[in-house]
Amino acid sequence: MPKGKNNLFVEPDCEHNGQEKKGCARPRPGDVSRGCPCAGSLTALMPIADAAHLVHGTAACLESRWGKFGDRIDFSHLSGYGFSTQLTEQDMAMGGERKLLQSIGYIASNYNPPAIFVYATCITVLSMEDLDSICEEAEEIWGIPVIPVHSPGFSGSSSNMGRRLAGEALMDRVIGKGAPQQDKLTEFDINLIGEYHGQEEGKSIEALLAKAGIRVLAKITEESHFAEVSCAHLAKVNMVVCSRSMITLARKMKDKYDIPYFEGSFYGEREIRFTMRQIGFHFANADLDKRLLRYIRKEEERLRVEIAPVRRALKGKMVVLYTDGLESWTYLTMLQELGLKIAAIGTNRNAQEDMSRIRERLNEGTVIINDCDDHQILQVYRERKADLMIVSGRNEFVPLKERIPFLSVGWDRHVSYAGYTGVRNFAEDLLGTLEQPVWVTSGKSAPWEG
């Protein structure tokens, strides 16, 4: 277990750590069943497409997360393949270090990746294996970086902590190791650090910034390549996108490489405008400021003309959100700008920062239900006479079973809601959902029921 892991529970740049006797919430009994640290680390690092990702444990440890990233997984890239040492009962009793070394050798010889990430699991802790020494030995034999990721489930953490531990591995063994040609660097290089939904979302954000003259040097937790991430220390600014799970990485890059960071969002006109002005502030370039303001004005004028008919059709509609994590507040600005009224928000696994972002974006009259269950959200939906439910993850089965209109905004969708194009997509999907005749048909009784 790496030294100082418990310090991640007290992150100086987290809002709640300014309060007396506060820190990042430790999991309660049963919380780990929703996602262990190993799953969180896989979520953060498997988008590094050309690297190999080897889970040192049973096949189930790999299957708990591999293949659940929507369109991130592409089998034309090495990260689309799941590698596991597939430890047996005999390996657990006798130790799996030799098998791990053989597995690393197999990957290095047959796939020749630029790097191999090795993920610790609960079995690593139980058998007291020295993962660091094996990785160092493998590096000497095959001459490529072999990076241990210490995030076993028995560490008593959540998938959110697993992402932080993935950031620790990147900071210690990856970032700062690359050295691209200086002529390939630009004046306005930026890193995107955080959590957003799939390849299309990342492309939308990158294209938006490119039109404004900003180049994305590295994308961390989004599809990227090992060489890009290793050169992330050469960026001028870091942007934390919608997620606090990688805030420790951004802070440590600021301390070590003097790279300032800020938090931003690309979901809604107001959010995009604020984010672009933040970028201009951190680069402190007058020409860039003028270019960003022209770009914002041009895109907002065009967007308002294009979605005016959709906005008129959506105005006054009542919506209920039944989501967790960043989905609970990411889309609030867009919903309000499109003229919808937010009746209620039901959440189960939101951090304190998520709740503060919900409250600062809401108007009076919205009901917020913490530790919400299916019965509560359906009761509020009917009492407030809502027209639509927005859901994510497993919550989408609730409106489906009740046959009420819903839009899923989870990670498995294949359309981007980020940027100005995303606002158009979101508005069209909302209206398309509400106008679907299936909701009228499904609400009727079957002919044989009378």
Q: What amino acid is encoded at 341 in this protein?
A: K
Dist CA 327 CA 410 (whole Å): 8
Regarding whether 298 and 372 lie in a shared domain, the answer is no
Kindly state whether residue 448 falls inside one of the protein's structural domains: no
Give the per-residue pLDDT at 76.
55
Kindly state whether residue 28 falls inside one of the protein's structural domains: yes
Give the per-residue pLDDT at 40.
84
Q: Which pLDDT tens digits describe the chain residue by residue (450 residues)?
A: 444 445 565 666 666 555 544 445 555 555 545 568 888 888 888 888 899 999 998 888 877 655 555 444 554 578 777 899 988 888 787 878 899 999 999 999 999 999 999 999 888 877 888 899 999 999 999 999 999 999 887 765 677 788 888 999 999 999 998 876 666 788 999 999 986 655 678 888 999 999 999 999 998 877 889 999 999 999 999 999 877 778 889 999 999 999 999 998 999 999 999 999 999 999 999 999 999 999 999 999 999 999 999 999 999 999 999 998 788 899 999 999 999 999 999 988 777 778 888 888 887 788 999 888 899 999 999 999 999 999 988 888 999 899 999 999 877 677 889 999 999 999 999 999 999 998 888 877 778 876
Regarding whether 156 and 16 lie in a shared domain, the answer is yes
Regarding whether 237 and 142 lie in a shared domain, the answer is no
Regarding whether 240 and 135 lie in a shared domain, the answer is no
Residue 443: partners with Cβ closer than 8 Å, 6 or more residues away: 403
Give the per-residue pLDDT at 54.
93
Of 121, 285, 276, 141, nearest in space to 205 by CA? 276
| Domain at 231, CATH number | 3.40.50.12380
Give the per-residue pLDDT at 357.
86
Kindly state whether residue 16 falls inside one of the protein's structural domains: yes
Residue 234: partners with Cβ closer than 8 Å, 6 or more residues away: 180, 185, 189, 217
Kindly state whether residue 113 falls inside one of the protein's structural domains: yes
SS3 for the chain is CCCCHHHHHCCCCCHHHHCCCCCCCCCCCCHHHHCCHHHHHHHHHCCECCCEEEECCCHHHHHCCCCCCHHHCCCCCHHHCCEECCCCHHHHHHCCHHHHHHHHHHHHHHHCCCCEEEECCHHHHHCCCCHHHHHHHHHHHHCCCEEEECCCHHHCCCHHHHHHHHHHHHHHHCCCCCCCCHHHCCCCEEEEEECCCHHHHHHHHHHHHHHCCCEEEEEECCCECHHHHHCHHHCCEEEEECCCCCHHHHHHHHHHHCCCEEEECCCCHHHHHHHHHHHHHHHCCHHHHHHHHHHHHHHHHHHHHHCHHHHHHHCCCEEEEECCCCHHHHCHHHHHHCCCEEEEEECCCCCHHHHHHHHHHCCCCCEEECCCCHHHHHHHHHHCCCCEEEECHHHHHHHHHHCCCEEECCCCCCCCCCHHHHHHHHHHHHHHHHCCCHHHHHCCCCHHHC
Kindly state whether residue 437 falls inside one of the protein's structural domains: yes
The structural domain count of the chain equals: 3
What confidence tens digit (pLDDT) does each residue in 324-359 have? 878 889 999 999 999 999 999 998 877 777 888 888
Residue 20: partners with Cβ closer than 8 Å, 6 or more residues away: none
Kindly state whether residue 352 falls inside one of the protein's structural domains: yes
Choosing from 280, 306, 332, the residue where a domain stops is 306
Give the per-residue pLDDT at 42.
87
Regarding whether 132 and 45 lie in a shared domain, the answer is yes
Choosing from 242, 275, 306, the residue where a domain stops is 306
Give the per-residue pLDDT at 128.
82
Choosing from 173, 200, 216, the residue where a domain stops is 173
Regarding whether 233 and 295 lie in a shared domain, the answer is yes
Question: Which domain range does residue 201 map to?
Answer: 182-306
Dist CA 208 CA 297 (whole Å): 14
Q: What angle do CA 207, 76, 233 make, to 5 degrees?
A: 50
The dihedral built from the CA positions of residue 10, 16, 20 and 22, taken in this order, carries a sign that is: negative
Regarding whether 246 and 195 lie in a shared domain, the answer is yes
What confidence tens digit (pLDDT) does each residue in 91-122 have? 787 878 899 999 999 999 999 999 999 999 88
242 and 233 in contact (C-beta within 8 Å)?
Answer: no
Dist CA 414 CA 199 (whole Å): 9
Kindly state whether residue 447 falls inside one of the protein's structural domains: no
Give the per-residue pLDDT at 12.
63
Dist CA 32 CA 122 (whole Å): 12
Distance in angstroms between the alpha carbons of the first and the last residue of the chain: 65
Regarding whether 315 and 223 lie in a shared domain, the answer is no
Regarding whether 227 and 169 lie in a shared domain, the answer is no
53-67 b/e with 16+ CB inside 10 Å = b?
bbbbbbeebbebbbe
What confidence tens digit (pLDDT) does each residue in 27-46 have? 555 554 556 888 888 888 88
342 and 430 in contact (C-beta within 8 Å)?
Answer: no
What confidence tens digit (pLDDT) does each residue in 407-419 have? 998 776 778 899 9
Regarding whether 340 and 218 lie in a shared domain, the answer is no
Give the per-residue pLDDT at 71.
42
| Domain at 92, CATH number | 3.40.50.1980
Strands 406-408 and 388-391: parallel
Write down the pTM of the prediction: 0.86
Dist CA 310 CA 427 (whole Å): 7
Strands 367-369 and 341-346: parallel
Of 345, 339, 332, nearest in space to 317 by CA? 339
Regarding whether 135 and 283 lie in a shared domain, the answer is no
Kindly state whether residue 450 falls inside one of the protein's structural domains: no
Give the mean pLDDT of the chain.
Answer: 85
Regarding whether 194 and 101 lie in a shared domain, the answer is no
